[in-house]
Amino acid sequence: MKRPRKIKRYCPSCKNHTAHELHRLKKRKAGELKQGQRRFRRVMRGYRGFPRPKPEGREKTSRRVALKYTCAICKKSHQPASQRAKKFEIGE
């Protein structure tokens, strides 16, 4: 999927269509104090195996792409729901 770096779209804080700059976000480190991570650490403690089945043969063909739009006028950013894409590229 190819997307332009600058695009005109609706800004919720300006309440108007303005020019936005597109940024791709990287996955950040998962929080150690989140409930799922605490549960995972508790299950992994001791003499047990891995708590989830191996995902053999079920790998997804595409990855989620997280995008952030920054308004050129008010400089506020907003992040819509992520999309799936095999290949992602930001053009000029």
Sorted by where each starts, the structural domains of the chain and their CATH numbers stand as 2-51+63-86 (3.10.450.80)
Confidence (pTM): 0.73
Question: pLDDT of the chain along its 92 residues, tens only?
Answer: 899 999 999 999 999 999 999 999 998 898 999 999 999 999 999 898 888 888 788 788 899 999 999 999 999 999 999 999 999 999 87
Element (H, E) at 69: strand 67-71
State the Cα–Cα distance between residues 70 and 48, nearest whole angstrom. 47
Contact indicator for 83, 3 with CB cutoff of 8 Å:
no
